[in-house]
Every structure is written in structure tokens, then in C-alpha cells.
Structure 1
């Protein structure tokens, strides 16, 4: 029995000939693509996007996967390259083989509503024209007795990172020492960065396999055949994942990623954390204010960090590939061992914006770029106000927004993405005339202190 980096390498019994043929065929496929990799010329991301032939797109992505794997410990820990390549190729082949768009959009929606004594919310998500649904969300009116939590996570390269964040990010906020002393902003920042740490661990890898689609569950099963688990791993509870637990695994983490846009509301304080191009907008007296900034590579502050970390920007994409400068996951851009997480080519470090709420604040919207590609912040706020005249159910308002944004075809590109939106409306307490006058005065002061620019129409 061999050992590989301290782990026992076991040979699992093949139950029948069909399982053996399946397993051996997949290994052969992985080896074949590795061999042919040397024969394929190098292409950049812009050429890849221009390829209409699915086989060509698939071939170029295979090439990129194996280029990454050949770089050894800078990208993949020693000893895990074959398995890493194997699972990556399987996942990519399924996604690319399916194509980017469906012939008919999936317009079925997941919607829900909720409320407490301070606010109410509605949300809706729709797959649309995309071949897969990679968005996720989290909505908790009572994270604790005085705090509400809402998050939108827009995945890319797969859905697993978005789903991982939706399951664990709010838990890590709660477990942060900063949160326990009332520092919501710091607790959010730590939780964002913590997601990458957790996904690098072997336990994180298994959780990603469970959260993934069928092919990812299959690769998780293969991992189980190869690696013998520790005796202490059998009875752990993922919800009890300790905050201080650090990475202790040979796995480099997922190459897929996700944006994260989170709003935490406690009493009259709203704290927004954002990494990526999902967006949070507040409506104050009908005026839209952006509470987050879209993290595109061409922004000066993002470009400066990318270049200093050894990356480059081509065609508006980081290293010619990713069109985001900040994201959770995307570990191939976070391999510089001499830089902290905040200074990597792509970072999960969020912008934090804290706003004191006033009586003129009507609602907050969190949405992925599938919405913002079709509507400006002010256009969406205006549309919501219009819908609220005739519809009181907030999830129904969100559904109307999704229907409004859905493109009639895939010809134009806009309106063809996954769409997720959360609408949070503040409840207004009853006030006396004297209280209303005092509140009006404080609202004028608050309006001058809001930390973001008014949205363009």
C-alpha cells in the first residue's frame, strides 16, 4: 500500500465491469487530452470567445486546464495534478458540451417572501437563457434578534462557489469576534476572505462536491475512492465549522468563483459588503444611490493591484480571462505566496459601506449583473416604485423585473444571463407630528452624509 503526502492510497473494489469500463475510459480521456495539449497552439481569451464551434471552445479550454496543471505547486500541489486535471476536464467538458445558451429560456422562478417587525423582503431568481443556473442567495430577517442579512452570489465557471457562500458566509459573520462586539463591517470583511480559506481545505473540497451538480458529485465520489478519510472526519457537522480553523489540505481550491454582495441591517444602520459586479442600491425619496461599486479590472485602484501582483489586463479581463477584479474563489489568480489575500491579482476583499438609515429611505435592492446589464440603478428604482402602486407582494415585483429584463432571443447578449434580485422594504413606525418634524430635520442631514454618488438615470 503506497502513501501520497501522508495519506493512504487505497485501491477500491470495482463492483462490476461497467464501473470498470467507465472509470478506465475517463482516465484514458484525461490522458489523451494531456498528450494532445502539446500539439495545440496558444490562443487568448478573445479568440476563445469568438469560436462558434463548441468542439473548438472545448478544445481550447482543455488546453488551458492542462497548462495550469503543468505548472506544479504554483497552481496545483504536488501529487494532486492528475486528479485535479481529471476532475477539471470532466466539469469543463460537461459545461462546454452543453453550450452557453438554451434554445428556449427557463422562465420558472424561485421566489419567496419574509418579514419581521422592522422590514419585509421579497426575492426571485430565474435561470433564463443560460444552460446552467449559477446564482445563489441568502435571506435571513433575523440573523440575530436585532440584525437582518441578505446576500446575492453570482457564480461563474460553475455554481459551487456561489452556493458555498450562500450556505456559509452568514455563519462566519456570526462567528466572528468582531461581530460579537458590534463591528459588522470587519466581521463581513473577515467572512469574505474566510470563504477562500475554507474552500482550500479538504473539508471544503468535499462540501463543494456536495453542493455541485451531478458531475461535481461524481468527481467527489471519485475523490472518496482515492483518498482514505481520517477517522475524525466521519461525524463532523459542517454548520459547526470553527472560524479559526485554517487550511490544512493539499487542494488548491476551486477555479470557479462568485461575486458576493451582502447587506446587513441592524437597527438604523445598513452595512454593505461587495466583491465583484453584483450591486446594492438604496431608494431615498425615489432617488437611487449605489451603495456598492462594480469591481471591473479597468478601474484604476483594481488595475494598480493587479499589475503589482504580477497580473495583466487584456480586453478588459484579468490575465485575458476573468472580467472581474474581485471575487470569492478563482484560486488560479490567488497563488502568490508572498502576498496577503487583499493584494492578490484577484481578491475576495470587499468594499465596506456603512449608511445610517433615515425615514426617507424606502427600500434596498441587491441584484446580480444579469439585472444591471439591462437596467440602470435609477431605472430599476423607478420601475419598482411603479410596480408597488399595484402590487404589494415584493417577490411578485421581483418577478416582474426579471420578466422585464429577459431578452426575446440570445442575439443581443443582454438579458440572457441568470437573474437574481432581493428587494428589502423598510417598515415605517407610526410617529407624532413633533417626531416627524424632528425626523425630517435629521433626514436632511443624513442625505448630505450618504457615502455614495447618486445613480445615473
Structure 2
């Protein structure tokens, strides 16, 4: 692998803030894959890897495929969130909703309610004031669902690299989020040479945890995208902000589509980590590439 040598220069002391960054990057990759998906992750310049992920592999054509990722400064919080998400069912009878009776409004209500319950329950289980963001991908018989809370992101792309659908980041820099926070009585502030933050601290506007903040400002309320499985959708890509900080939706979509015909998806996922690292990502990096069977 050819890598820009500047990326491996020792970090200067002024960049080792609060023990967040290492002097040298950790570039070993965690790669998991089968015929349906590939996952790749790298710790990078951070002193620890704060990304967690989990996937459920379908048994047959009627099963729901599911991918979860979470990111947080406290490992215990993330591990609990991933385990809790794995226990969510789609109706009160603890069964999957029959596709003939499926209602997107019912689905959205159940999922959002489960996230709020999880956030409330989490506060009783962990003695920690940090928080987490997460993104979930559900692939059913008829639709793809992207469930996003925070600044991880998911996109659905066509075979030629067109972005068909994308989640929106929950950041105080987004005007709609800024207005919501201010309406709830909070403040979006920005210091010189910094990003907008909630009350001078948090650069995310929706989270699980972060109980030192008024949860009206940063609710555990995910956005949900429903997209039909049709001849256009070829891949779902979900990744943490370590990827999206340095690559746009369109750049990632083109990167995947241009290599898909002659490169395995696990190699594409691995190469996306390399590309993000070369482009200057200083965060943990995690990405899933999921094939859609039309």
C-alpha cells in the first residue's frame, strides 16, 4: 500500500490534547465480510477506538438484514447500546411486522419510542456522563431503512454511483437543528476557529447519553429514511464521521461504484479507509458496504 509519508509523521505535542491523539497512527484494519456485506475499521490517530458495530446475517429471503454502528467516548455505553438495539422488535407482540400489514408511521413511532426508552434506561445503568451516536440499517423484503442519530451517515447508491438517498447529520451547525435547540431554550455557540456547539461544548445535536445537558436540546430522537428496493439501488454505505469528515457522499459513491465491477467489496471498504486516512482523517474510521439484491 502506498501512503503519503506525511501521514506518518510524529504528531506534535500541541496536537496531543487531553490524550485524544497518539504520536503515531494505528493503521491495522479490522475487516469482516461475506457475500452480502463488508465491514472495515481502523483506529487511526486516536488513542482508543470508540467505534462499535454489529450485524445480523439473514437466514433466508424473508429475514431482515440489520447493521448497527455506534460511536462514543465511553466503551461501556456503546456496548450496551449495541446490545439493546439488537433486542428491539417491531411490534408490541415481540415479533417482526408482517410485510402485508406494514405501516411506516407505526414503524417510525415504535423505533423512535424505543430510542427514547433506551436513552432513559441507559441513565440508570451507567455511571458516565459521555454519550453516543449511532446509525442502523434495516433491509426488509420491500424497503431499506436508515435510522440515524448523530453524525454517522448512511447513503443508498446506484450501480453508476448516483446517491439515491442519504441521512442528514444532526449537528448544531444545521439551521433546522439550531432553531430546534433555541426553541427549547438552549444556545448554539461558536468560538473562534471552532465548529458550532451546543452550550459551548457538544458538536452533536442529538445523542444517546450526555446527561449533563438538558435532553430537550439533544434528544435521542432518530430520523428514519425509507427507500424501496428496486432496480436502481445497488449498495448501502454506512460510516462514521471519520469517513464523512474528509469525503462527500458523492465521492464515496463514485469510489465504490467505479471499483465494484473488478474489486471485492471488502477490498473497496479497506481502500476507503486508506483514502480517508490519506485525505487527513484524524478520527476512528468505520464503514459498511452492503450489497442490495434486487
Match of 1:311 in 2: 186
Match of 1:149 in 2: 66
Higher RCO (CA < 8 A, seq sep 6+): 2
User: Quick check: 1:179–1:187 contact (8 Å CA) kept in 2?
Assistant: no
Greater Cα radius of gyration, structure 1 or 2: 1
User: Quick check: 2:90–2:111 contact (8 Å CA) kept in 1?
Assistant: no
For residues 44-443 of structure 1, the aligned pairs below 5 Å read 52=14, 96=18, 99-115=19-35, 120-142=36-58, 145-155=62-72, 157-173=73-89, 176-177=92-93, 180-181=96-97, 182=102, 183-201=106-124, 204-205=125-126, 254-284=128-158, 285-315=160-190, 316-334=196-214, 344-392=216-264, 394-407=265-278, 414-428=280-294
Measure, in 2, the Cα distance between the counterparts of 1:133 and 1:354. 31
Measure, in 2, the Cα distance between the counterparts of 1:173 and 1:419. 29
User: Quick check: 2:51–2:286 contact (8 Å CA) kept in 1?
Assistant: yes
Would you say how many aligned residue pairs link Structure 1 and Structure 2? 268
The CA deviation at 1:179 is 6.2
- Cα deviations across residues 189-240 of structure 1 (Å, max 9, x unaligned)? 2232222122122xx23xxxxxxxxxxxxxxxxxxxxxxxxxxxxxxxxxxx
User: Quick check: 1:147–1:265 contact (8 Å CA) kept in 2?
Assistant: yes
User: Quick check: 1:258–1:328 contact (8 Å CA) kept in 2?
Assistant: yes
User: Taking structure 1 as reference, are residues 193 and 173 closer, same or farther at Cα in structure 2, changes over 3 Å only?
Assistant: farther
Cα RMSD (Å): 2.4
The CA deviation at 1:124 is 1.0
3-state DSSP of counterpart to 1:382? helix
User: Taking structure 1 as reference, are residues 426 and 170 closer, same or farther at Cα in structure 2, changes over 3 Å only?
Assistant: same
| Structure 2 residues not aligned, in runs of 5+ | 1-12, 191-195
User: Quick check: 2:57–2:65 contact (8 Å CA) kept in 1?
Assistant: yes
The CA deviation at 1:357 is 1.6
The CA deviation at 1:53 is 9.0
User: Quick check: 1:150–1:262 contact (8 Å CA) kept in 2?
Assistant: yes
User: Quick check: 2:234–2:292 contact (8 Å CA) kept in 1?
Assistant: yes
3-state DSSP of counterpart to 2:266? helix
The CA deviation at 1:172 is 2.2
The CA deviation at 1:363 is 0.3
Higher percent of residues as helix = 1
Measure, in 1, the Cα distance between the counterparts of 2:41 and 2:239. 10
- Cα deviations across residues 263-320 of structure 1 (Å, max 9, x unaligned)? 1111121111111111110112420134210111132332222123332111100000
TM-score normalised by L of structure 2: 0.83
TM-score normalised by L of structure 1: 0.55
3-state DSSP of counterpart to 1:270? strand
